[in-house]
Structure 1
Amino acid sequence: MFFHPMDFLIIIAFGLTMWAQTKVKGNFEEYSKVQASSGMTGLQAARRILDQEGLSSVNIERARGGTLSDHYDPTKKTLRLSDAVYSGNSISSVSVAAHEVGHAIQHANNYSMLVVRHKIFPVANIGSQMAPLLLLGGLFLDITNLITIGIILFSAAVLFQVVTLPVEYDASRRAKNKLVELGMISNREEKGVGKVLGAAALTYLASTLIAVLQLLKFIMIARNRN
Protein backbone atom coordinates (compact mmCIF):
# COMPACT_ATOMS: atom_id res chain seq x y z
CA MET A 1 0.00 0.00 0.00
CA PHE A 2 2.83 2.38 0.91
CA PHE A 3 4.99 1.66 -2.13
CA HIS A 4 3.97 0.32 -5.50
CA PRO A 5 5.69 0.28 -8.93
CA MET A 6 2.99 2.71 -10.12
CA ASP A 7 4.45 5.24 -7.68
CA PHE A 8 7.31 5.89 -10.10
CA LEU A 9 4.83 7.21 -12.67
CA ILE A 10 2.96 9.15 -9.99
CA ILE A 11 6.20 10.87 -8.95
CA ILE A 12 6.88 11.83 -12.56
CA ALA A 13 3.33 13.18 -12.90
CA PHE A 14 3.76 15.09 -9.64
CA GLY A 15 6.93 16.64 -11.04
CA LEU A 16 4.97 17.67 -14.14
CA THR A 17 2.38 19.31 -11.90
CA MET A 18 5.05 21.31 -10.07
CA TRP A 19 6.55 22.39 -13.40
CA ALA A 20 3.12 23.40 -14.70
CA GLN A 21 2.39 25.48 -11.61
CA THR A 22 5.73 27.22 -12.00
CA LYS A 23 4.89 27.83 -15.65
CA VAL A 24 1.53 29.36 -14.70
CA LYS A 25 3.13 31.80 -12.27
CA GLY A 26 5.96 32.57 -14.68
CA ASN A 27 3.69 33.29 -17.65
CA PHE A 28 1.31 35.32 -15.51
CA GLU A 29 4.15 37.44 -14.14
CA GLU A 30 5.72 37.86 -17.60
CA TYR A 31 2.54 39.08 -19.27
CA SER A 32 1.41 41.08 -16.26
CA LYS A 33 4.16 43.48 -17.32
CA VAL A 34 2.73 43.81 -20.84
CA GLN A 35 -0.16 46.25 -21.09
CA ALA A 36 -3.08 45.21 -23.28
CA SER A 37 -3.42 47.46 -26.33
CA SER A 38 -7.03 48.20 -25.37
CA GLY A 39 -5.89 49.56 -22.00
CA MET A 40 -8.80 47.78 -20.34
CA THR A 41 -8.55 46.35 -16.84
CA GLY A 42 -9.65 42.83 -15.97
CA LEU A 43 -12.79 44.30 -14.41
CA GLN A 44 -13.65 46.28 -17.53
CA ALA A 45 -12.94 43.36 -19.86
CA ALA A 46 -15.05 40.99 -17.76
CA ARG A 47 -17.93 43.46 -17.52
CA ARG A 48 -17.94 44.12 -21.25
CA ILE A 49 -18.00 40.42 -22.18
CA LEU A 50 -20.72 39.68 -19.62
CA ASP A 51 -22.90 42.53 -20.85
CA GLN A 52 -22.35 41.55 -24.48
CA GLU A 53 -23.51 38.03 -23.59
CA GLY A 54 -26.62 39.36 -21.85
CA LEU A 55 -25.27 38.50 -18.40
CA SER A 56 -25.63 41.91 -16.76
CA SER A 57 -26.99 40.19 -13.65
CA VAL A 58 -23.62 38.56 -12.96
CA ASN A 59 -21.76 40.57 -10.32
CA ILE A 60 -18.01 41.15 -10.18
CA GLU A 61 -16.17 41.39 -6.86
CA ARG A 62 -12.61 41.48 -5.61
CA ALA A 63 -11.48 38.04 -4.45
CA ARG A 64 -10.32 37.79 -0.84
CA GLY A 65 -7.51 35.39 -1.70
CA GLY A 66 -4.13 36.27 -3.13
CA THR A 67 -2.74 36.00 -6.65
CA LEU A 68 -4.61 33.66 -9.02
CA SER A 69 -7.53 33.23 -6.59
CA ASP A 70 -9.90 34.21 -9.41
CA HIS A 71 -13.06 32.13 -9.79
CA TYR A 72 -16.71 32.16 -10.78
CA ASP A 73 -19.29 31.29 -8.11
CA PRO A 74 -22.32 29.75 -9.88
CA THR A 75 -24.41 29.65 -6.67
CA LYS A 76 -24.29 33.45 -6.35
CA LYS A 77 -23.68 34.25 -10.01
CA THR A 78 -20.64 36.24 -8.99
CA LEU A 79 -17.23 36.63 -10.58
CA ARG A 80 -14.41 37.13 -8.08
CA LEU A 81 -11.14 38.53 -9.37
CA SER A 82 -7.84 38.90 -7.52
CA ASP A 83 -6.46 42.43 -7.11
CA ALA A 84 -3.89 42.00 -9.89
CA VAL A 85 -6.60 40.89 -12.33
CA TYR A 86 -9.38 43.20 -11.11
CA SER A 87 -7.47 46.46 -11.48
CA GLY A 88 -4.63 45.40 -13.79
CA ASN A 89 -4.68 46.28 -17.49
CA SER A 90 -2.15 43.72 -18.64
CA ILE A 91 -2.43 40.77 -21.01
CA SER A 92 -2.50 38.48 -17.97
CA SER A 93 -5.28 40.46 -16.30
CA VAL A 94 -7.69 40.46 -19.23
CA SER A 95 -6.86 36.81 -20.05
CA VAL A 96 -7.67 35.50 -16.57
CA ALA A 97 -10.74 37.71 -16.25
CA ALA A 98 -12.07 36.53 -19.61
CA HIS A 99 -11.43 32.90 -18.66
CA GLU A 100 -13.58 33.23 -15.54
CA VAL A 101 -16.26 34.93 -17.61
CA GLY A 102 -16.10 31.85 -19.83
CA HIS A 103 -17.34 29.81 -16.86
CA ALA A 104 -20.20 32.27 -16.33
CA ILE A 105 -21.17 31.85 -20.00
CA GLN A 106 -21.00 28.06 -19.62
CA HIS A 107 -23.29 28.27 -16.61
CA ALA A 108 -25.79 30.50 -18.41
CA ASN A 109 -25.82 28.20 -21.45
CA ASN A 110 -26.01 24.97 -19.41
CA TYR A 111 -22.80 23.71 -20.97
CA SER A 112 -23.13 19.93 -20.80
CA MET A 113 -19.78 19.12 -19.20
CA LEU A 114 -20.27 21.81 -16.56
CA VAL A 115 -23.70 20.36 -15.75
CA VAL A 116 -22.15 16.91 -15.36
CA ARG A 117 -19.41 18.31 -13.11
CA HIS A 118 -21.95 20.01 -10.84
CA LYS A 119 -23.96 16.81 -10.55
CA ILE A 120 -21.04 14.59 -9.57
CA PHE A 121 -19.43 17.15 -7.24
CA PRO A 122 -21.18 15.99 -4.03
CA VAL A 123 -20.12 12.37 -4.52
CA ALA A 124 -16.65 13.40 -5.72
CA ASN A 125 -16.19 15.61 -2.66
CA ILE A 126 -17.10 12.76 -0.33
CA GLY A 127 -14.95 10.38 -2.35
CA SER A 128 -11.84 12.52 -2.11
CA GLN A 129 -12.17 12.66 1.68
CA MET A 130 -13.42 9.18 2.51
CA ALA A 131 -11.73 6.98 -0.11
CA PRO A 132 -8.21 7.01 1.45
CA LEU A 133 -9.64 6.05 4.86
CA LEU A 134 -11.75 3.24 3.42
CA LEU A 135 -8.87 1.92 1.34
CA LEU A 136 -6.46 1.94 4.28
CA GLY A 137 -9.05 0.36 6.57
CA GLY A 138 -9.94 -2.28 4.01
CA LEU A 139 -6.32 -3.23 3.40
CA PHE A 140 -5.28 -3.35 7.05
CA LEU A 141 -8.42 -5.21 8.15
CA ASP A 142 -8.53 -7.30 4.98
CA ILE A 143 -12.15 -6.35 4.26
CA THR A 144 -12.75 -6.57 0.52
CA ASN A 145 -16.02 -4.61 0.62
CA LEU A 146 -14.32 -1.61 2.21
CA ILE A 147 -11.64 -1.64 -0.49
CA THR A 148 -14.29 -1.85 -3.21
CA ILE A 149 -16.30 1.03 -1.77
CA GLY A 150 -13.11 3.08 -1.43
CA ILE A 151 -12.22 2.49 -5.08
CA ILE A 152 -15.74 3.42 -6.22
CA LEU A 153 -15.69 6.68 -4.23
CA PHE A 154 -12.19 7.53 -5.43
CA SER A 155 -13.36 6.83 -9.00
CA ALA A 156 -15.99 9.56 -8.57
CA ALA A 157 -13.28 12.00 -7.50
CA VAL A 158 -11.17 11.05 -10.52
CA LEU A 159 -14.17 11.39 -12.84
CA PHE A 160 -14.72 14.90 -11.49
CA GLN A 161 -11.18 15.85 -12.45
CA VAL A 162 -11.49 14.24 -15.88
CA VAL A 163 -14.70 16.19 -16.57
CA THR A 164 -13.01 19.38 -15.36
CA LEU A 165 -10.53 19.23 -18.26
CA PRO A 166 -12.97 20.01 -21.09
CA VAL A 167 -14.69 22.58 -18.86
CA GLU A 168 -11.43 24.50 -18.38
CA TYR A 169 -10.30 24.18 -22.00
CA ASP A 170 -13.69 25.37 -23.23
CA ALA A 171 -13.63 28.38 -20.89
CA SER A 172 -10.19 29.34 -22.22
CA ARG A 173 -11.38 28.94 -25.82
CA ARG A 174 -14.38 31.16 -25.16
CA ALA A 175 -12.16 33.71 -23.41
CA LYS A 176 -9.70 34.04 -26.28
CA ASN A 177 -12.46 34.22 -28.89
CA LYS A 178 -14.30 36.96 -26.99
CA LEU A 179 -11.17 39.02 -26.42
CA VAL A 180 -10.44 38.94 -30.15
CA GLU A 181 -14.07 39.41 -31.22
CA LEU A 182 -14.55 42.49 -29.03
CA GLY A 183 -11.18 43.98 -29.96
CA MET A 184 -9.76 43.86 -26.45
CA ILE A 185 -6.52 42.33 -27.71
CA SER A 186 -4.69 42.67 -31.02
CA ASN A 187 -3.59 39.81 -33.25
CA ARG A 188 -0.03 40.05 -31.94
CA GLU A 189 -1.30 39.73 -28.38
CA GLU A 190 -3.08 36.42 -29.00
CA LYS A 191 0.16 34.52 -28.41
CA GLY A 192 0.49 35.98 -24.92
CA VAL A 193 -3.12 35.15 -24.09
CA GLY A 194 -2.54 31.61 -25.31
CA LYS A 195 0.52 31.21 -23.07
CA VAL A 196 -1.26 32.50 -19.96
CA LEU A 197 -4.32 30.32 -20.44
CA GLY A 198 -2.45 27.30 -21.83
CA ALA A 199 -0.16 26.99 -18.81
CA ALA A 200 -3.15 27.04 -16.47
CA ALA A 201 -4.84 24.27 -18.46
CA LEU A 202 -1.67 22.19 -18.20
CA THR A 203 -1.93 22.17 -14.39
CA TYR A 204 -5.39 20.59 -14.63
CA LEU A 205 -4.06 18.00 -17.05
CA ALA A 206 -1.17 17.07 -14.76
CA SER A 207 -3.41 16.85 -11.68
CA THR A 208 -5.84 14.62 -13.55
CA LEU A 209 -2.98 12.36 -14.63
CA ILE A 210 -1.92 11.91 -11.00
CA ALA A 211 -5.48 11.04 -9.97
CA VAL A 212 -5.87 8.47 -12.77
CA LEU A 213 -2.54 6.83 -11.91
CA GLN A 214 -3.50 6.65 -8.23
CA LEU A 215 -6.80 5.01 -9.13
CA LEU A 216 -5.01 2.42 -11.27
CA LYS A 217 -2.64 1.79 -8.38
CA PHE A 218 -5.51 1.11 -5.98
CA ILE A 219 -7.22 -1.18 -8.47
CA MET A 220 -4.00 -3.15 -9.04
CA ILE A 221 -3.41 -3.52 -5.29
CA ALA A 222 -6.97 -4.75 -4.78
CA ARG A 223 -6.66 -7.27 -7.63
CA ASN A 224 -3.34 -8.58 -6.33
CA ARG A 225 -4.81 -9.13 -2.86
CA ASN A 226 -7.73 -11.03 -4.38
Structure 2
Amino acid sequence: MYWIIFIGIAVISWIVQSRFKNKFKKYSETPLSSGLSGAEIAQKMLHENGIYDVKVLVANEGGLSDHYNPANKTVNLSNEVYYGRSVAAAAVAAHESGHAVQHATAYSWLQFRSAMVPVVSVASRLTSWVLIGGVLLMAFSGNPWILAVGVGALFLTTLFAFVTLPVEFDASGRALKWLESANITHSRDEHDGAKDALKWAAMTYVVAALSALVTLLYYAFILFGRRD
Protein backbone atom coordinates (compact mmCIF):
# COMPACT_ATOMS: atom_id res chain seq x y z
CA MET A 1 0.00 0.00 0.00
CA TYR A 2 2.75 2.44 0.96
CA TRP A 3 4.59 1.96 -2.33
CA ILE A 4 1.45 3.04 -4.19
CA ILE A 5 1.32 6.21 -2.08
CA PHE A 6 5.05 6.85 -2.61
CA ILE A 7 4.67 6.45 -6.37
CA GLY A 8 1.62 8.70 -6.35
CA ILE A 9 3.48 11.44 -4.48
CA ALA A 10 6.45 11.10 -6.84
CA VAL A 11 4.19 11.49 -9.88
CA ILE A 12 2.44 14.50 -8.37
CA SER A 13 5.81 16.04 -7.50
CA TRP A 14 7.02 15.59 -11.07
CA ILE A 15 3.83 17.15 -12.45
CA VAL A 16 4.05 20.14 -10.10
CA GLN A 17 7.76 20.69 -10.80
CA SER A 18 7.17 20.51 -14.55
CA ARG A 19 4.20 22.85 -14.30
CA PHE A 20 6.20 25.33 -12.24
CA LYS A 21 9.12 25.32 -14.69
CA ASN A 22 6.76 25.81 -17.62
CA LYS A 23 5.00 28.68 -15.86
CA PHE A 24 8.31 30.31 -14.97
CA LYS A 25 9.49 29.99 -18.58
CA LYS A 26 6.23 31.46 -19.85
CA TYR A 27 6.27 34.47 -17.54
CA SER A 28 10.02 34.94 -18.02
CA GLU A 29 9.17 35.64 -21.65
CA THR A 30 6.40 38.10 -20.70
CA PRO A 31 7.87 41.62 -20.59
CA LEU A 32 7.08 43.81 -17.61
CA SER A 33 5.54 47.08 -18.81
CA SER A 34 7.19 49.06 -16.00
CA GLY A 35 10.59 48.06 -17.45
CA LEU A 36 12.16 47.50 -14.03
CA SER A 37 14.65 44.69 -13.46
CA GLY A 38 14.30 42.14 -10.69
CA ALA A 39 17.15 43.79 -8.78
CA GLU A 40 15.47 47.21 -9.03
CA ILE A 41 12.14 45.78 -7.89
CA ALA A 42 13.71 44.01 -4.91
CA GLN A 43 15.54 47.16 -3.85
CA LYS A 44 12.44 49.31 -4.31
CA MET A 45 10.29 46.98 -2.21
CA LEU A 46 12.89 46.93 0.56
CA HIS A 47 13.20 50.71 0.67
CA GLU A 48 9.45 51.28 0.57
CA ASN A 49 9.19 49.02 3.61
CA GLY A 50 11.85 51.02 5.44
CA ILE A 51 14.58 48.40 5.01
CA TYR A 52 18.01 49.78 4.10
CA ASP A 53 20.37 47.22 5.67
CA VAL A 54 19.60 44.36 3.25
CA LYS A 55 21.74 43.91 0.12
CA VAL A 56 20.41 42.59 -3.19
CA LEU A 57 23.00 40.26 -4.76
CA VAL A 58 23.36 37.90 -7.72
CA ALA A 59 23.27 34.27 -6.55
CA ASN A 60 26.01 32.00 -7.89
CA GLU A 61 24.07 28.74 -7.74
CA GLY A 62 22.38 29.05 -11.14
CA GLY A 63 18.72 29.06 -12.17
CA LEU A 64 15.92 29.07 -9.60
CA SER A 65 18.42 29.59 -6.77
CA ASP A 66 16.71 32.72 -5.46
CA HIS A 67 16.56 33.03 -1.69
CA TYR A 68 16.75 35.39 1.27
CA ASN A 69 19.52 34.79 3.80
CA PRO A 70 18.55 36.18 7.23
CA ALA A 71 22.04 35.47 8.62
CA ASN A 72 23.75 38.12 6.51
CA LYS A 73 20.63 40.01 5.39
CA THR A 74 20.94 39.47 1.66
CA VAL A 75 18.36 38.92 -1.06
CA ASN A 76 20.09 36.56 -3.49
CA LEU A 77 18.65 36.48 -7.00
CA SER A 78 19.57 34.24 -9.94
CA ASN A 79 20.89 35.93 -13.08
CA GLU A 80 17.58 35.61 -14.91
CA VAL A 81 15.73 37.27 -12.03
CA TYR A 82 18.36 39.86 -11.08
CA TYR A 83 18.72 41.19 -14.61
CA GLY A 84 15.32 40.10 -15.93
CA ARG A 85 12.59 42.59 -16.79
CA SER A 86 9.74 40.11 -16.94
CA VAL A 87 6.64 39.24 -14.95
CA ALA A 88 8.43 36.19 -13.51
CA ALA A 89 11.45 38.24 -12.44
CA ALA A 90 9.18 40.76 -10.74
CA ALA A 91 7.25 38.05 -8.90
CA VAL A 92 10.35 36.20 -7.64
CA ALA A 93 12.24 39.37 -6.68
CA ALA A 94 9.27 40.69 -4.72
CA HIS A 95 8.75 37.29 -3.07
CA GLU A 96 12.33 37.13 -1.81
CA SER A 97 12.11 40.72 -0.59
CA GLY A 98 8.92 39.63 1.16
CA HIS A 99 11.07 37.34 3.28
CA ALA A 100 13.26 40.31 4.21
CA VAL A 101 10.12 42.21 5.25
CA GLN A 102 9.10 39.22 7.37
CA HIS A 103 12.51 39.31 9.04
CA ALA A 104 12.33 43.06 9.67
CA THR A 105 8.85 42.79 11.18
CA ALA A 106 9.70 39.71 13.30
CA TYR A 107 7.16 37.49 11.54
CA SER A 108 6.62 34.64 14.01
CA TRP A 109 6.67 31.74 11.54
CA LEU A 110 9.95 32.92 10.03
CA GLN A 111 11.47 33.26 13.51
CA PHE A 112 10.34 29.72 14.37
CA ARG A 113 11.73 28.39 11.08
CA SER A 114 15.06 30.17 11.55
CA ALA A 115 15.37 28.79 15.08
CA MET A 116 14.90 25.27 13.70
CA VAL A 117 17.61 25.55 11.03
CA PRO A 118 20.67 24.48 13.11
CA VAL A 119 18.94 21.38 14.50
CA VAL A 120 17.28 20.44 11.21
CA SER A 121 20.54 20.80 9.28
CA VAL A 122 22.11 18.17 11.54
CA ALA A 123 19.02 15.95 11.48
CA SER A 124 18.76 16.03 7.68
CA ARG A 125 22.38 14.88 7.28
CA LEU A 126 21.89 11.92 9.62
CA THR A 127 18.34 10.84 8.79
CA SER A 128 18.92 8.55 5.79
CA TRP A 129 21.80 6.57 7.30
CA VAL A 130 20.18 6.28 10.72
CA LEU A 131 16.88 5.08 9.22
CA ILE A 132 18.58 2.46 7.07
CA GLY A 133 20.71 1.27 9.97
CA GLY A 134 17.72 1.33 12.29
CA VAL A 135 15.56 -0.79 9.98
CA LEU A 136 18.34 -3.37 9.54
CA LEU A 137 19.08 -3.52 13.27
CA MET A 138 15.40 -3.91 14.10
CA ALA A 139 14.99 -6.66 11.47
CA PHE A 140 17.94 -8.72 12.73
CA SER A 141 17.91 -8.05 16.46
CA GLY A 142 14.54 -6.47 17.23
CA ASN A 143 16.28 -3.45 18.79
CA PRO A 144 14.14 -0.37 17.90
CA TRP A 145 16.24 2.42 19.42
CA ILE A 146 18.32 3.40 16.37
CA LEU A 147 15.18 3.48 14.23
CA ALA A 148 13.46 5.57 16.92
CA VAL A 149 16.28 8.12 16.67
CA GLY A 150 15.88 8.15 12.89
CA VAL A 151 12.12 8.66 13.13
CA GLY A 152 12.70 11.49 15.60
CA ALA A 153 15.11 13.18 13.18
CA LEU A 154 12.68 12.62 10.32
CA PHE A 155 9.91 14.19 12.42
CA LEU A 156 12.01 17.34 12.79
CA THR A 157 12.67 17.62 9.05
CA THR A 158 8.97 17.01 8.34
CA LEU A 159 7.94 19.66 10.86
CA PHE A 160 10.39 22.04 9.20
CA ALA A 161 8.78 21.38 5.80
CA PHE A 162 5.35 22.25 7.17
CA VAL A 163 6.59 25.33 9.05
CA THR A 164 8.03 26.51 5.73
CA LEU A 165 4.55 26.61 4.15
CA PRO A 166 3.10 29.65 5.99
CA VAL A 167 6.44 31.45 5.52
CA GLU A 168 6.32 30.95 1.74
CA PHE A 169 2.62 31.72 1.35
CA ASP A 170 2.93 34.88 3.44
CA ALA A 171 5.95 36.10 1.44
CA SER A 172 3.99 35.61 -1.80
CA GLY A 173 1.01 37.45 -0.34
CA ARG A 174 3.21 40.39 0.66
CA ALA A 175 4.84 40.38 -2.79
CA LEU A 176 1.58 40.42 -4.73
CA LYS A 177 0.03 43.10 -2.54
CA TRP A 178 3.07 45.35 -2.92
CA LEU A 179 3.45 44.75 -6.67
CA GLU A 180 -0.11 45.96 -7.14
CA SER A 181 0.02 48.90 -4.73
CA ALA A 182 3.38 50.08 -6.10
CA ASN A 183 1.98 49.81 -9.64
CA ILE A 184 4.79 47.49 -10.72
CA THR A 185 2.37 45.07 -12.38
CA HIS A 186 0.41 47.66 -14.34
CA SER A 187 -2.16 45.46 -16.03
CA ARG A 188 -4.46 42.76 -14.69
CA ASP A 189 -2.71 40.24 -16.98
CA GLU A 190 0.68 41.07 -15.44
CA HIS A 191 -0.67 40.77 -11.89
CA ASP A 192 -2.46 37.50 -12.66
CA GLY A 193 0.74 36.17 -14.24
CA ALA A 194 2.79 37.02 -11.15
CA LYS A 195 0.14 35.39 -8.96
CA ASP A 196 0.10 32.26 -11.13
CA ALA A 197 3.91 31.94 -11.06
CA LEU A 198 4.05 32.26 -7.28
CA LYS A 199 1.16 29.83 -6.82
CA TRP A 200 3.02 27.06 -8.63
CA ALA A 201 6.22 27.86 -6.78
CA ALA A 202 4.31 27.45 -3.51
CA MET A 203 2.87 24.14 -4.71
CA THR A 204 6.39 22.68 -4.87
CA TYR A 205 6.70 23.31 -1.13
CA VAL A 206 3.30 21.73 -0.47
CA VAL A 207 4.25 18.56 -2.34
CA ALA A 208 7.61 18.42 -0.54
CA ALA A 209 5.86 18.66 2.82
CA LEU A 210 3.37 15.90 1.92
CA SER A 211 6.19 13.68 0.68
CA ALA A 212 8.05 14.18 3.96
CA LEU A 213 4.88 13.32 5.91
CA VAL A 214 4.29 10.11 3.96
CA THR A 215 7.89 9.04 4.55
CA LEU A 216 7.60 9.81 8.26
CA LEU A 217 4.41 7.76 8.61
CA TYR A 218 5.99 4.84 6.75
CA TYR A 219 8.96 4.59 9.11
CA ALA A 220 6.79 5.30 12.14
CA PHE A 221 4.57 2.33 11.23
CA ILE A 222 7.68 0.14 10.87
CA LEU A 223 8.89 1.31 14.29
CA PHE A 224 5.60 0.53 15.99
CA GLY A 225 5.17 -2.83 14.25
CA ARG A 226 2.28 -1.86 12.03
CA ARG A 227 3.84 -2.37 8.59
CA ASP A 228 1.56 -4.12 6.09
Aligned length: 222
1:196 aligns with 2:197: yes
1:33 aligns with 2:29: yes
1:216 aligns with 2:212: no
TM-score, normalisation: structure 2 = 0.93
> Which residue pairs with 1:85 in the alignment?
81
RMSD: 1.4
Rounded to whole Å, the distance in 2 between the matches of 1:162 and 1:45 is 29
Percent of residue pairs bearing the same amino acid type: 36
Do the aligned partners of residues 137 and 154 (structure 1) sit closer, same or farther apart at CA in structure 2, a change above 3 Å counting? same
> Which residue pairs with 1:114 in the alignment?
110
1:36-77: per-residue Cα shift (whole Å, max 9, x none)?
121111111111110001111111111112111111111111
TM-score, normalisation: structure 1 = 0.94
> Which residue pairs with 2:168 in the alignment?
168
**Cα displacement (A) at 1:15:** 1.3
Which blocks of at least 5 consecutive residues in structure 2 are unaligned? none
> Which residue pairs with 2:13 in the alignment?
17
Q: Residues 25-174 of structure 1: matches in 2 within 5 Å?
A: 25-142=21-138, 143-174=143-174
Q: Residues 173-192 of structure 1: matches in 2 within 5 Å?
A: 173-186=173-186, 187-192=188-193
Rounded to whole Å, the distance in 2 between the matches of 1:120 and 1:80 is 21
Paired AA for residue 213 in structure 1? V
What is the DSSP-based 3-state SS (H/G/I as helix, E as strand, rest coil) of the residue aligned with 2:29? coil
Which blocks of at least 5 consecutive residues in structure 1 are unaligned? none
Rounded to whole Å, the distance in 2 between the matches of 1:68 and 1:87 is 13
Paired AA for residue 149 in structure 2? I
Rounded to whole Å, the distance in 1 between the matches of 2:109 and 2:226 is 36
Rounded to whole Å, the distance in 1 between the matches of 2:78 and 2:134 is 43
